[in-house]
């Protein structure tokens, strides 16, 4: 069965069929007609599955161990709290620093916990026991960001003093210093450990080659402070969040801006990718957490459980839970299972049809029979599906060169649309879409609230 990540939503569609050697069902966008006889259900509020309390000040950071069993949190009170991630039980409290702890990182083997503080120090701890391993000193101002490489050998620390220090975790010595033109506010290692990205107070993002210290890309990324950056687990995308209220996605290899995500009303304080790189979480001073579909750039869900700004978000290794830490002195855990169900429902609500690449069909009679079955099944599905736009359905027969041989309006909205639209314009639009995609054959899979409604005989779907 197809996974929700494979679906592509269309507000409206036109269906076309080819009658030559290469056959299929073509889908492309058209205009939509709002309906007035459907009412949208009230928005349901998603509640956290667990709320943890214990800090005596803002919770600045949350970090989850690679095995998903333990979570660490830190905050303005200078303590680190270690929690059982599954049940929320407090396991240990470490009086770690004399000032606020704004950053945490856990090594890939789950043994070492690192903390960065406003006392200008980085400290290394045994995650299991809470014992101090080592104190790393060298910064002359607040340590705002830390990150540990995937091999667990290297730690990077960024400070308001405008420097990034690369530490050897075995020896505790500084191997390199990177200098920035402004205070460092965020850091992240690429998944392969070869690149380090830094965000700064002047809105710039800089990427570095770790083993040489060579600058790679310098991006005038935001109009104000870059509070947070994160690499996608697949290593292809870098996300950044800023005081300018925007989230931006960048192509790692080229440094090119991919898109800007607008949705927050105040500064974006934290971003985190899901393990499959498909979902991005962003938290803000506006007290909200948005979950974004990375491919479609749409908001999938908004969590509104914190009473004050949300300083940190982090996904569990299995992607089933999101942890958030806020200025309301709480850590909240959010279940992603509800999001998976909502993704399916959203796909159905926006359109009953998605596109999938299919094999060819050469029998014209069989194709016409399929068209009728297709229409009947889609019509039945739509009668059960709450959609906020009534789809236009056309059946268009075309030749191999894209010339339209026949056009039929298959439902009432399509008839009304055709009455208002000159047929030459409609034909030209259809032809351009077909010729642009003439090497691809498509068939339909109809989504219902309970799963996939199969409508094609190809590849074992019928």
456 and 352 in a common domain = yes
379 and 251 in a common domain = no
Which DSSP state fits 47?
P
φ and ψ of 6, to 5 deg: -85, -10
CATH number at residue 149: 2.130.10.10
407 and 263 in a common domain = no
Q: Strand pairing partners for 97?
A: none
Q: What CA dihedral angle connects 232, 179, 155 and 227, to 10 degrees?
A: -50
Q: Are 282 and 289 in contact (CB under 8 A)?
A: yes
Which DSSP state fits 45?
P
Q: Are 266 and 224 in contact (CB under 8 A)?
A: no
Separation CA 201–CA 246 (nearest Å) = 15
CA torsion through residues 48, 52, 55, 61, sign:
negative
- Confidence (pLDDT) at 45: 72
Residue 362 in any domain: the answer is yes
361 and 331 in a common domain = no
If we measure between CA atoms, which residue out of 252, 250, 298, 305 comes closest to residue 283? 305
Give how many domains the chain has, as a whole number: 2
- Confidence (pLDDT) at 16: 36
259 and 149 in a common domain = yes
Work out whether strand 246-251 and strand 237-242 pair parallel, antiparallel, or are unpaired.
antiparallel
95 and 32 in a common domain = no
- Confidence (pLDDT) at 414: 64
- Confidence (pLDDT) at 396: 54
Residue 341 in any domain: the answer is no
End position of a domain, from candidates 304, 336, 368:
336
Distances 112 to 92, 144, 148, 155, 245 between C-alpha atoms, Å? 15, 19, 10, 11, 33
Q: Which domain holds residue 434?
A: 4-41+346-460
Residue 140 in any domain: the answer is yes
188 and 117 in a common domain = yes
10 and 93 in a common domain = no
- Confidence (pLDDT) at 430: 54
249 and 332 in a common domain = yes
- Confidence (pLDDT) at 181: 81
Q: Does pTM top 0.75 for this prediction?
A: no
206 and 120 in a common domain = yes
Q: Are 304 and 287 in contact (CB under 8 A)?
A: yes
136 and 216 in a common domain = yes
Residue 93 in any domain: the answer is yes
End position of a domain, from candidates 336, 364, 379:
336
End position of a domain, from candidates 267, 302, 336:
336
Helix (H, G, I), strand (E, B) or coil at 120: coil
Ramachandran area for residue 203 (φ above 0: left; ψ -120 to 50: alpha; else beta): left
- Confidence (pLDDT) at 410: 63
- Confidence (pLDDT) at 180: 84
305 and 427 in a common domain = no
- Confidence (pLDDT) at 2: 31
Q: Per-residue confidence of the chain (462 residues) as pLDDT tens digits?
A: 333 333 322 222 334 333 332 233 333 322 233 333 333 344 567 889 899 999 999 999 999 999 999 999 999 999 999 999 999 999 999 999 999 999 999 999 999 999 999 999 999 999 999 999 999 999 999 999 999 999 999 999 999 999 999 999 999 999 999 988 899 999 999 999 999 999 999 999 999 999 998 999 999 999 999 999 999 999 999 999 999 999 999 999 999 999 999 999 999 999 999 999 999 999 999 999 999 999 999 999 999 999 999 999 999 999 999 999 999 999 999 999 866 555 534 433 333 333 333 334 445 555 555 555 555 554 554 444 333 334 555 555 544 444 555 566 666 766 766 666 665 555 555 555 445 544 333 333 333 333 333 333 332 222
Residue 138 in any domain: the answer is yes
């Amino acid at each position: 069965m197809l996974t929700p990540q494979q679906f592509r939503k269309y507000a409206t569609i036109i269906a076309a069929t080819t009658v030559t050697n290469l056959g299929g069902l073509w889908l492309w966008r058209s205009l939509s007609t709002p309906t007035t006889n459907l009412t949208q259900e009230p928005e349901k509020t998603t509640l956290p599955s667990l709320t943890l309390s214990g800090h005596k000040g803002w919770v600045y950071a949350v970090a989850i161990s690679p095995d998903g069993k333990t979570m660490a949190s830190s905050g303005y009170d200078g303590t680190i709290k270690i929690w059982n991630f599954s049940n929320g039980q407090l396991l240990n409290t470490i009086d770690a620093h004399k000032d606020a702890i704004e950053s945490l990182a856990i090594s890939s083997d789950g043994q070492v916990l690192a903390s960065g503080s406003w006392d200008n120090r980085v400290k290394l701890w045994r995650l299991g026991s809470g014992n101090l391993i080592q104190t790393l000193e060298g910064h002359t101002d607040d340590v705002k960001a830390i990150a540990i490489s995937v091999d667990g050998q290297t730690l990077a620390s960024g400070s308001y003093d405008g420097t990034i220090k690369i530490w050897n975790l075995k020896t505790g010595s500084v191997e390199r210093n990177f200098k920035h033109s402004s205070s460092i506010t965020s850091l992240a290692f690429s998944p392969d450990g070869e690149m380090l990205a830094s965000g700064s107070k002047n809105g710039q993002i800089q990427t570095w080659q770790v083993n040489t210290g060579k600058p790679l890309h310098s991006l005038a990324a935001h109009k104000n402070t870059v509070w947070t950056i994160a690499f996608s687990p697949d290593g292809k995308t870098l996300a950044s969040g800023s005081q300018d209220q925007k989230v931006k996605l960048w192509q790692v290899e080229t440094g090119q801006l991919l898109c800007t995500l607008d949705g927050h009303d105040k500064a974006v304080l934290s971003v985190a990718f899901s393990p499959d790189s498909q979902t991005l979480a962003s938290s803000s001073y506006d007290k909200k957490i948005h979950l974004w579909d990375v491919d479609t750039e749409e908001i999938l869900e908004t969590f509104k459980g914190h009473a004050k700004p949300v300083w940190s978000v982090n996904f569990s290794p299995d992607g089933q839970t999101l942890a958030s830490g806020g200025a309301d002195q709480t850590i909240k855990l959010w279940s992603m299972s509800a999001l998976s169900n909502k993704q399916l429902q959203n796909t159905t609500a926006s359109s009953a049809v998605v596109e999938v690449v299919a094999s060819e069909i050469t029998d014209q009679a069989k194709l016409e029979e399929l068209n009728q079955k297709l229409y009947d099944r889609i019509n039945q599905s739509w009668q059960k599906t709450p959609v906020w736009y009534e789809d236009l359905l056309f059946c268009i027969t075309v030749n191999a060169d894209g010339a339209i041989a026949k056009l039929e309006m298959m439902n009432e909205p399509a008839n009304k649309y055709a009455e208002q639209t000159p047929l030459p314009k409609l034909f030209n639009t259809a032809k351009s879409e077909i010729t642009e995609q003439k090497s691809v054959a498509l068939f339909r899979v109809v989504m219902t609230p309970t799963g996939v409604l199969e409508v094609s005989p190809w590849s074992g779907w019928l």
